[in-house]
Amino acid sequence: MLRLLRYYAPYKRLIGLAIISNLLMSLFMVVSIPVLQPFLQILFNPGEIKATTGGSGFQRFESALNGFFANLIAQYGREQALLIVCVFLVITFFGKNLFRYLSLYFLAPVRNGIVRDIRQKLVEKTLNLPLSYFSEERKGDLMSRISADVQEIEWSIVGATEAVAREPIVMLGSLIFMISVSPGLLVFVFGLMLFSGLIIAGVGRSLKRQSGEAQHRLGIIGSMVEETLGGLRIIKGFNAEHWQADRFQHENDDYARTLTRLYRRRDLASPMSEFLGIAAVSVLLWFGAKQVFAGEISAATFITFLYAFYNIIEPAKHLSGASYNIRKGLGALDRVEAVLHADETIKDSHDAHQIHSFEGKIAFNNVTFKYQNAEREALHEVSFEVKKGQTVALVGASGAGKSTIADLLPRFYDVSQGQILIDGSDIRQLRLRDLRNLMGIVSQEAILFNDSVYNNIAFSTIDATPETVKAAAIAANAHEFIVRMPDGYQTNIGDRGGKLSGGQRQRLTIARALLKNPPILILDEATSALDSESEKLVQSALDTLLKNRTALVIAHRLSTVQHAHEILVLDGGSIVERGTHESLMHAGGVYKRLVELQALQD
């Protein structure tokens, strides 16, 4: 439970107000208990109401209360006294329920705020985690943690806050009254609570374990749904609907069986508590009746004691249910905290320094890199330089290491060995935000967001204005098709830009890079999957983007990099050839064979 306290810390004031409200509610409830005793005596045997002297603390209190009501009956009569008692009961129960509402009123923003905070921390943590983390985790499972697991925490843990904050106070007030009436009777109450606690603790441990399993399986289901929606074209094209449905049914059935076991254990809480309560009441009735028969306590006092005991049984049942729910929710909390506590391996060093401009060159010095859990190195002792204003192209077969080099420069991953230097500084010693501010990235797949054209171009550029956005769109050959859209720059482009053609999407990403105006450009050639007309428009936009910039270009169509200052040919993670287009063609090596092979394919 100590783990949960830090989530409640920002809401100390509201929780304090809720506790005060619960204390006042408990006070009104406790006051209403002894009033029932003279009420019952007035109703059944008014002759017994008389003041006595001596005895225990409760007996003296009972004597004073009896004296008060005896005078009340003598002054106003039996019916009038009964009316006064009823009015007093109404006032006390009104106060009790008023402060109960106020406690819930103060807890409502606590409940919603904690869930909001956890969800916000999860998203911020997800944004800060390195890309290597996501290669090991299912995206659907991460989405399940942000949505379903956080919701489970709200239902199971935060929802139990009300019971945890209120019921102990209510139980304490009732216990004080019961101790003053008959310590002997109270032994049975403690026996019930101890017995219930032992049973609930045992079942609760299994609930936590099964809840974690259920949330894990829900994450798998979320991943499969995401894969299904993203791959519908292939699934239908291969007539694989039944195959995919069978895969999903297997996981869905396992999840349903896990939930069934979980619910059966959780639903055991209320019947078990009720049975234990009835058993204790039966013992109390037998033992208390013996005390009444022996004249040790009055019948009205015993009935009042039973009412006080009821005010312990109900809160105990609520606490029992809260205990089950908290155990169940801890499984979800474990999954959430597994993300929150994941290592941020790509982060600023303690002595990181700022960099605001690029003046000299980028240098890869004997860079070796291996992906986590990979069998072989993706790069092996790669060395090259990119001077300011130069364009260096990376070519080679799939898996040669081109994209790995492009990912290492902005520190999406850190090198395993060697160094990457910018103006002589190791990029691991530069502030990450400053490093990435120097760079613009245009990927082969146009990454766009379900937002307006304007917001996609102005993405993360704080000083963007309608004029600068328009100028970037014109330079990227995008303005013409944008103004033809229903709402122009304010038109929503749909999920991943689904309302646009491939060429239009790519021109928007180029406009986004132009607006950022970075000195270093990383270009995963954006024309490889386009038709000829779109390719010409995009290539023209790329030529504008590359002017006066330092660029690292991953080349898929070799004809587009013939004018690069240097071409690096990679194979198996190593540079096997380097030079200009003319020198490499004259050498007649790997590059020439790649060019000739691509010419035959075209």
Which of 291, 307, 340 delimits the end of a domain? Answer: 340
- Per-residue pLDDT band for 37 (boundaries 50, 70, 90) equals low
Q: How far apart are CA 477 and CA 508, in angstroms?
A: 9
Same domain for 297 and 164: yes
For residue 284, count other CB atoms closer than 10 A to its CB.
20
Average pLDDT value for residue range 57-77 = 66
**What CATH number is associated with residue 580?**
3.40.50.300
* Residues 313 and 370 occupy one common structural domain: no
Percentage of residues in the chain having pLDDT higher than 90:
17
Task: Calculate mean pLDDT across residues 500-512.
Answer: 86
5-14, 24-33, 488-497: which has the minimum mean pLDDT? 24-33
Residue-wise pLDDT tens digits, 430-483 = 999 899 989 888 887 788 888 899 999 998 788 889 999 999 898 888 898 999
pLDDT of residue 417: 93
Q: Is the dihedral of CA 484, 488, 489, 493 positive or negative?
A: negative
Same domain, 71 and 215: yes
| Cα 443 from Cα 508, distance rounded (Å) | 12
At 128, the pLDDT band (50, 70, 90 cuts) reads: confident
Distance separating alpha carbons of residues 568 and 591, to the nearest angstrom: 9
Same-domain check for residues 195 and 102:
yes
Mean pLDDT (the chain) is 79
Which residue pairs, CB below 8 angstroms and at least 24 apart, start in 501-505? 501/534, 502/446, 502/529, 502/530, 502/534, 503/530, 503/531, 503/533, 503/534, 503/535, 503/537, 503/538, 504/478, 505/446, 505/448
Give strand pairing partners of 395. 569
For residues 243-261, give the mean pLDDT: 85
Residue 458 within a domain: yes
> pLDDT at position 383, please?
94
Return the pLDDT at 269.
Answer: 64
Check residue 447 and report its DSSP letter: -
Which pLDDT band, with edges at 50, 70 and 90, does 276 fall under? low
pTM above 0.85, yes or no: no
276: its two tokens: 């234990």
pLDDT band for 42, please (50, 70, 90 cuts). low
d(CA 375, CA 83): 87
Tell whether the model's pLDDT for residue 54 goes beyond 50.
Answer: no
My answer on whether 336 and 370 are in the same domain is no
352 assigned to some structural domain: no
- Fill in the DSSP letter of residue 378: S
CA distance 28 to 59: 21
Q: Work out the end-to-end distance of the chain between its first and last CA atoms, rounded to an integer number of angstroms.
A: 66
Identify whether residues 449 and 592 lie together within a single domain.
Answer: yes
In a domain, 347, yes or no: no
Same domain membership, residue 379 and residue 321: no
Do 61 and 151 share a domain, yes or no?
yes
pLDDT at 52: 47
Can you say how many angstroms the Cα of residue 299 is from the centroid of all Cα atoms in its chain? 56
**Cβ-based burial of 481 (10 A; exposed 0-12, middle 13-18, buried ≥19):** middle
Residues 243 and 95 in one domain: yes
Residues 197, 153, single domain; the answer is yes
Q: Is residue 155 part of a domain?
A: yes
Count CA within 13 A, CB hemisphere, residue 90: 6
Q: If you count them, how many residues does the chain have?
A: 602
State which residues form the domain around 297: 2-340
**3-state DSSP call for residue 383?**
strand
Per-residue pLDDT averaged across 500-515, rounded? 86
Q: What is the CATH number of the domain that holds 42?
A: 1.20.1560.10
Q: Identify the pLDDT of residue 489.
A: 92
| Highest-pLDDT range among 233-242, 309-318, 571-580 | 571-580
Q: At what angle do helices 466-475 and 532-546 cross, to 10 degrees?
A: 120
Q: What is the pLDDT of residues 420-430, one digit of tens each?
A: 999 999 999 99
Which stretches does DSSP call E strand in 404-478? 417-422, 425-426, 439-442
CA distance 152 to 476: 47
250 and 399 share a domain?
A: no
Both 54 and 195 in a single domain? yes
Domain boundary among 340, 370, 396: 340
Number of domains in the chain: 2
Q: Is residue 290 part of a domain?
A: yes
For 523-555, the DSSP string reads EE-TTTTS-HHHHHHHHHHHHHHHTT-EEEEE-
Q: Please, are residues 291 and 117 in contact by the beta-carbon 8 Å criterion?
A: no
Asked if residue 6 is part of any domain, the answer here is yes
Q: What is the pLDDT of residue 83?
A: 81
Q: pLDDT of 386-406, one tens digit each?
A: 999 999 999 988 888 998 999
Question: Is residue 390 a part of any domain in this protein?
Answer: yes
Kindly state the DSSP code that residue 596 receives in the 8-state scheme: H
Alpha-helix residue ranges (DSSP H) falling in 145-268: 150-156, 161-181, 183-230, 232-237, 241-266
Q: Which residues of 453-476 are buried (b: 16+ CB within 10 A; e: fewer)?
A: bbebbbbeeeebeeebbbebbbbb
Exposure b/e, 501-526, CB count within 10 A at least 16 = b = ebbbbbbbbbbbbbbbebbbbbbbbb
